[in-house]
Amino acid sequence: MKNSALSHTVFRLLLILITTLVLWYTYVVGANEGWNFFTVAINVVTSFTWLGQFTLDFASYLLLASLWILWRNQYSASSVFIALSAQILGIAFFAPYLLYLSVVEKGNVQRILVGNRTAM
């Protein structure tokens, strides 16, 4: 197996592992504490604690990921749906989206990152 093929395989396996772990963890937390995530998240952010800082920092990463999705897909109608899904569902959506891109773009990292854009 070529080095780049091995790298792509490891990347894809990591995405599958992350998705599986986060979905399982989300299920356990939801079953134990209920599914009112947004209320909890808002209360945590407004608590001005380290947990609130971490939550706000993470929400900022989600926003940047969503903006990248919009930009990569040239602000198409479908990219709005994809970006909103990533913003709300986090890595549970974003990791499978990256996995999908890695397959569709046949492991071409430039195409995964910038889509159909050409070099300037």
Q: How many CB atoms neighbour CB 30 within 10 A?
A: 12
CA proximity to 65, closest of 85, 40, 39: 85
| 2-6, 18-22, 106-110, 115-119, range with greatest mean pLDDT | 18-22
For the stretch 49-102, pLDDT in tens is 999 999 999 999 999 999 999 999 999 999 999 999 999 999 999 999 999 999
Percent of the chain scoring above 70 in pLDDT: 98
Identity of the amino acid at 32: N
